[in-house]
A and B are shown apart, each in its own frame.
Chain A
């Protein structure tokens, strides 16, 4: 009896939402249902997450950790480093987002939508370290047709304190302002960095090394 009820329930579900043993990603109603079923989450409180990053936790993670806030989405995530390609470190969340940093400067994001596909930060790196007051910065994005677009920004650098660097970048009708706080070893500890029009700014704290 109970089995019959289960079967009936499954059949009704199949009629409304489609089911099968194939690739679920291609079933539209399931995608829609998944959207509807997403719980309305309140954004995690940054201070709670920060408090959770105790020295024991950081030791256990073995390697640097990023605490990242996506400012205009109210989202917080902790990322661990999983790969290095020369000076570029890649950090992941388990839910499908990655950030790649070149000596602390963001050079790629994935999984955010409107991702930064690649960046040439050779000039900005020198400027942040105090070797120049201006530098060009080159970003690559995908447009809506999957074509790569190249945006070149002119950036100027100012220091409000020895360790506090402001980077103002602009190009035709578009500007952003990044800030970096560098520690005595020249490591970017805290930064606010712009990703794209669609994502906005990330607030990145580096922990654990």
Chain B
């Protein structure tokens, strides 16, 4: 007979010994009957805190890196680069200052050999007539051509400031040799900035006179690739050395080939360049923080601070989440015992037990369909970013709950009403592979991963899920960058968010914000855009909306059929637009390729972000192709009509890690001319997704997406719609599931 178990969330589940026709016994209940055992239980309670702090310490004792970062925020010496690459995937933010120049740089080791940087620099007194400062954005790329060998140095080639306004533009080829683990030397040749001191005629001149002179910057608004200037003009030599007497301390010296012509020009006089030599010291405070002090060009003190983080090094590998439920082995005879079917409430009891055990591990049972030898379970997973872990934990719990005759499990993760995938697992495989050394690979091979559109028919929904109101009150903060008047605009306040689930897939959602403090509400920047101001009035929205409805929508998402998903969203879609949005996505569960189409009617909202609308309305939409290259790279191409009515395409490339981190870049070209677009020429930017669990170790699916645009203009602007389909299903589909399948047994 099946009975209700009295287990709760903090008790060891597997203590149930469920035997056909016998009582369900919980060892935990037995424990609680013996007061003496409270001593033991008390001892249990003392473990966790020490474990958590211990794990943190364990990570602190990491290794020190061979390389350091420059004032430009790139791996190198002081102002000059080296041929070294950072550790793969390292992200480093550097704030550097000397001689009236402040550079904030974000560098990312895109691939083991390729790295890129985005820089936002402030140079004082730039406009000679008025003494105004300038704010300059620049992008770099570096590629390590040759690895260091026993006798051979590493060699790298780099482009600095290759799409910006060109203030820092320069190219170089550099070689670095580590003579011993403590001492490395570097020498290189440079063009542009790196060829401005003691330059000689360009040897590339043999390929044609075009190489002899570096042309001036083409007359444009910045943001374009200036390939016509690369490796042109005079060339000069730079060199340097780094000595690392201890793991944490590095002394650096260099001979710089940058003459700082512009900065030292009469009228600017930011500093005096007495000698071409720079010296400095880098001290690594912790695994993640370096401080640097410099004496520059015989006249100036400089300093820099670098914070670096590597997505491959979370707080704890595998996370600090609690243990999963052990597999319950069936006893001989249970497999063919169908006696439980005679019990009328068996299905209800099993559903309740399953719901409770899933909840204890952070998941929600949505529906269940029980057959004599097969169970189909639909569940929601708000906790595990490694989706395989949610599936594995659900499968383990099923071995505890289900009668022995139920030998096949179908597990369907449900995301906002969409059945993302169906994973079919044979119970006997779970029993056989729980401790198999290569259990991860084998369990993936034996699991069947299928489309879920036609799965789960006849399931009984769990009571209390529909209708259901979920709400939250909490703080919010928004940060806008790169406004020269206020380089960082911050608003903080309180946010009320609520979601009301009416039926599977049908949800009303809203967010209201009350600004309390910050400089986001002052000095709106007046837009000079000649296009419809579809985005450039952002700061007016900031100023005029102390209380703002940032979202108020009704949305319906569903599986349209095999490999097809659909969504309709209507209401106040985002802070600047309301309207209606419809989307269809085709994405086979085992495919690398997906294709989607979205059509929206959007009307611009009033600046106060309450209920009113402005006159401007537009039909916008895209056809989108998604491709998972299965080497960690993801591509997306969107072709269609943008908010200002312009037609064009956006290309996005991202490196996607199997632990949830993502780094990418995007660019949009439309039929808006570079001149009409204004500063920056076209829309482009960087995109990151940061998983919270990297820092906390705890099981949470929460991620923080960040989009960094050097300039937000009106051309190539897209509507922001919550709940787009591809990201709803992607992480549950096969390429992504397979990548993190190691966590199936976590």
Contact = CB atoms under 8 A, between A and B. Distances in A.
Interface in B20-39: 27-28, 30-31, 34, 36-37, 39
Given A78-B40, A111-B322, A144-B313, A19 B474 contact: yes
A118 to B, nearest CB: 5
A29 interface: yes
A113 B46 contact: no
Contacts of A141: 317-318
A88 B435 CA distance: 8
A44 B46 contact: yes
A117 B324 CA distance: 12
Contacts of A48: 43
B703 to A, nearest CB: 10
Chain A, interface SS category: mixed
B390 to A, nearest CB: 13
A83 B14 contact: yes
Contacts of A39: 49
B151 interface: no
Interface string B464-495: 00000111111100000000000000000010
B318 A142 contact: yes
Contacts of B742: 117, 142, 146-148
A92 B323 contact: yes
B44 interface: yes
A160 interface: no
B494 A119 contact: no
Contacts of B438: 118, 140
Given A73-B54, A114-B55, A114-B318, A142 B743 contact: yes
A44 B47 CA distance: 8
B441 A96 contact: no
Interface in B377-424: 382-383, 386
Interface residues of A, number: 85
Contacts, number: 268
Contacts of B311: 144-145
A117 B326 contact: no
Contact of B318 (A19, A88, A97, A113): A113
B474 A75 contact: no
A27 B739 CA distance: 27
Given A31-B696, A72-B54, A21 B471 contact: yes
Contacts of B100: none
Contacts of B475: 15-16, 18, 29
B59 interface: yes
A85 B318 contact: no
A70 B51 contact: yes
Interface stretch (A50-58, A164-172, A179-187): A50-58
Interface stretch (A1-9, A102-110, A126-134): A102-110
Given A83-B328, A144-B311, A148-B441, A20 B43 contact: no
A19 to B, nearest CB: 6
B502 interface: no
Interface string B307-329: 00011111111111111101111
B285 interface: no
Interface residues of B, number: 88
Contacts of A86: 329
Interface in B417-468: 431, 434-441
A97 B43 CA distance: 13
Contacts of A11: 473
Nearest to A98: B323
A1 B70 CA distance: 61
Contact of A144 (B28, B39, B314, B440): B314
Contact of B658 (A23, A82, A93, A147): A147
B746 A117 contact: yes
A107 B319 CA distance: 18
A114 to B, nearest CB: 5
B653 interface: no
B566 interface: no
B318 A145 contact: no
A119 B436 CA distance: 8
B57 to A, nearest CB: 8
A85 B40 contact: no
Given A140-B437, A146-B659, A77 B44 contact: yes
Contacts of B55: 73, 112-114, 198
A144 B37 contact: no
A209 interface: no
Nearest to A51: B39
Given A25-B382, A97-B323, A118 B43 contact: no
A161 interface: no
B44 A84 contact: no
A98 B388 CA distance: 19
B504 interface: no
Contact of A52 (B43, B315, B326, B659): B43
A105 B516 CA distance: 58
Contacts of B439: 118
Contacts of B41: 94
A95 B10 contact: yes
B130 interface: no
A15 B516 CA distance: 11
A168 B10 CA distance: 38
B54 A144 contact: no
Contacts of A140: 437-438, 440
Contacts of A191: none
**Residue of A38, A77, A83, A120 with most chain B CB atoms under a 10 A cut-off:** A83
Nearest to B386: A146
A20 B472 contact: yes
5 contacts: A27-B472, A111-B321, A114-B55, A141-B317, A144-B314
Given A146-B318, A146-B659, 18 more contacts: A11-B473, A25-B698, A52-B43, A60-B30, A76-B46, A85-B431, A98-B323, A107-B435, A111-B322, A111-B323, A112-B51, A113-B318, A115-B317, A144-B310, A146-B739, A148-B742, A198-B55, A200-B58
The 7 closest A-B pairs by CB, nearest first: A18-B474, A96-B322, A20-B472, A113-B316, A73-B54, A110-B323, A83-B326
